Structure 1
Amino acid sequence: MNLLLSDEQRELGSVAKAFLSTVSPRDGYVQAVYERLNGELGLGGLIVPEDCGGSGAGYADLAVVLEEAGAALLPGPFLSTVFAAIVLRELGEKEHLTAIASGVPATVGPLWGGGITATDGTLTGEALFLNGAEADLVLVITAEGVFTAQGTVSPVDALDITRSQARISFGGEPAVALGALPARALDLIAVALAAEQLGVIRAALAAIVEYGKVRVAFGRAIGSYQGVKHKLADLHCALEQAESIVRYAAWTADEAPDELPTAAALSQAYLGRACFQAAKDSLLLHGGIGFTWEHDAHIYYKRAKSDEVLLGPSRIHRAKLADLLEL
């Protein structure tokens, strides 16, 4: 087992970071950004097989990119499209994978809790979909399998201002069945989300460390106070643990499929809470500046909270992990 990044993965991360440094999380979905992201960098089709026009990369490579996307708070439907690509890849569905590789934004849902049923080739019910309003391809998960269909899209106010959500309703619309949802797909989605959360933790910690060096209170930089130093040390330890968990989970996705369910459950049982705690502590340590609309600290806080509950509350993942470990 080698959890260290290869030279190629470090280069991939550097290229992604350089590109994402030019993107503002406040801009929302900008089509020109995604045209460059898919055209110049080919990130939209990173895990899409080569025979479908993608790069055919592994999940460890995807984790590197998602970490940088999380650190930059990349706005728009990148994560939702990655989730859809994971489901389609596990289903072996090539037509829609080819569309994603060409830059078509996609979404998949509901990611937990259900709400939509399939009967005789039609769908009924409603659920929230990440970036549902921007997606040209909608994958619907039901107890009967995975379908594609066009429902009624109603945007909703989301906590995370960088990524929209929409309620998609189905009232008997015809749907195309793609097959039963592989259990592995949900594990891979959990790992992908954990990789983004790792990037959020890293960026939140880096921001408050830099702020602690320049913010002066009572004649001293706030980073010199014991209460701040201890908090930053705790955050650094959390980051180190989070990185180990994500690297291991991504490795299992590529190399040890039998270990993936446990690694995926662990990744969400730990990363969800750790990411939100890091963003919350960063917000608080920024003091008053962290509560202003102009500062990005509150955006990291909102992304962290949204990610924490995206796949359901952490107790679900802790219970799954306990079952897998026979505790």
Structure 2
Amino acid sequence: MTAETLPSSAPAPDPDLLYSEEEEALRAAVRSLLADRSAPATVLAGLESDVAYDTGLWRALATDIGTAGLLVPEKLGGQGASAREAAVVLEELGRSVAPVPYLTSAVIAVTALLDCGGDSAEAAAPLAALAAGRTVAVLALPLPTAPGAVPDPAVRAAADGTLTGRVTSVADAASAELLLVPAQRPDGPALYAVEAAADGVRTDTATPLDLTRPLGHLTFDGARGRLLATGDRARAAVDRALLTGAGLLASEQLGVAEWCLAETVRHTAERTQFGRPVGSFQALKHRMAALWLEVASARAAARYAADALATGSPDAPVAVAVAQAYCAPVAVRAAEECVQLHGGIGMTWEHPAHLFLKRAKSDELALGSPGRHRDALAGLVGIDAP
């Protein structure tokens, strides 16, 4: 074969599933902060208050460590990192079910703004504020909305940029100072930035299953918005934000599963029956060994999705669909095993196991259910769904 007959493009490099030294250093910093500021007792106490999220923890995480700007380019005041680093942060947040708006603000909202044109004046200013941790932003879509399945906008935009409509079940809506609102204009779809405190905007709180990720219903009644993008660009920005959010949500689900497995192993090694640790009983050892294998596989799937997003791989939609189809059920199973193998104490409010079960169940529905992602995967690889 001559040089002229060789393929014009080389095959994509193999994904890197290992953690770099920089990623491990970031993990150590985030884990240390969460161990000090987001212990289970602290999280439980916060759930019984009326605070939307832990503002002190968020300030330390977003500003002191600088995680809020990981995905923001350096020229806009961010860290210029990638989805791989953001995935490490989400693993640790999953391990502690920390009540902070990292996924919704620092990942989904930031990605939407970047795809609207980060260099434009309309997007650059909010990106700089998000990177500095001065602002929390959310994409005004229902939490279960999956990438590639964005419905027609529930909000209508008039020619003068005033918005009217209602969006339900928006994660972290009560925490947000800035709302990124998909809307339908007379000439097609658009994306607007709206101040949450603006006239004509109302946020009604809802009672979610997972109290560490509160939901809100947004009502727009003549609210003024700043136009960020229109047409295909607006649609692509929203879909890219949801794809990135779903891919990195797998890392949060991995963190949930890892904590549940580690806590279950610790508890069964300490609790005794008939003079022996219950963890030495063969039936329980088999259950925990099977769970360990599932968690190890979930780690590979989550890392593959993060690496594909970080490198801009054309396989990113496939990697995200695989990660969500696999990691979501693993997190739920790990949390269920944690509750069951703790016995009676696992059913109490005082033990944090229920926090992880609720986060796992909530995450299972967030950004598309496992079944929705399996259907998407079938289409992406050319298999007819049953």
Cα distance change of structure 1 residues 292 and 148 upon mapping to structure 2, 3 Å threshold = same
2:24 corresponds to? 10
**1:190 maps to 2:246:** yes
Q: How many angstroms does 1:296 deviate by?
A: 0.3
Rounded to whole Å, the distance in 2 between the matches of 1:170 and 1:247 is: 38
Q: How many angstroms does 1:142 deviate by?
A: 4.2
Rounded to whole Å, the distance in 2 between the matches of 1:275 and 1:145 is: 35
Rounded to whole Å, the distance in 1 between the matches of 2:378 and 2:342 is: 37
1:41 corresponds to? 65
2:193 corresponds to? 148
Q: How many angstroms does 1:56 deviate by?
A: 0.9
Cα distance change of structure 1 residues 269 and 41 upon mapping to structure 2, 3 Å threshold = same
Equivalence map 1:185-264=2 (5 Å)? 185-264=241-320
- Per-residue Cα deviation, 1:75-116 (whole angstroms, up to 9, x for no partner): 132222122112112222211111111211221131416462
Q: How many angstroms does 1:184 deviate by?
A: 2.7
- Per-residue Cα deviation, 1:207-246 (whole angstroms, up to 9, x for no partner): 0000010011233211111221111111111111111011
Runs of 4+ deviating beyond 6 Å: none
Cα distance change of structure 1 residues 185 and 134 upon mapping to structure 2, 3 Å threshold = closer
TM-score by length of 2: 0.81
Rounded to whole Å, the distance in 2 between the matches of 1:292 and 1:162 is: 17
Structure 2 residue matching 1:293: 3-state secondary structure: coil
Rounded to whole Å, the distance in 2 between the matches of 1:249 and 1:313 is: 16
- Higher alpha-carbon Rg: 2
**1:163 maps to 2:217:** no
For structure 2, list consecutive stretches of 5 or more residues without a partner in the other structure: 1-13, 48-52
For structure 1, list consecutive stretches of 5 or more residues without a partner in the other structure: none
Percentage of pairs with the same residue: 35
- Per-residue Cα deviation, 1:152-172 (whole angstroms, up to 9, x for no partner): 101111111222111111234
- Per-residue Cα deviation, 1:17-41 (whole angstroms, up to 9, x for no partner): 1111111322252222222222210
Rounded to whole Å, the distance in 1 between the matches of 2:182 and 2:370 is: 21
Which range moves more in the overlay, 9-18 or 167-176?
Answer: 167-176
1:63 corresponds to? 87
Q: How many angstroms does 1:256 deviate by?
A: 4.2
User: Given residue 156 of structure 2, which amino acid in structure 1 is its aligned partner?
Assistant: A
Number of aligned pairs? 327
2:335 corresponds to? 279
User: Given residue 137 of structure 2, which amino acid in structure 1 is its aligned partner?
Assistant: A
Cα distance change of structure 1 residues 249 and 312 upon mapping to structure 2, 3 Å threshold = closer
Q: How many angstroms does 1:117 deviate by?
A: 2.6
Rounded to whole Å, the distance in 2 between the matches of 1:19 and 1:167 is: 31
1:307 corresponds to? 363
Structure 1 residue matching 2:314: 3-state secondary structure: helix
Which range moves more in the overlay, 105-114 or 130-139?
Answer: 105-114
Residue 157 (structure 2) aligned to one of 119, 141, 150: 119
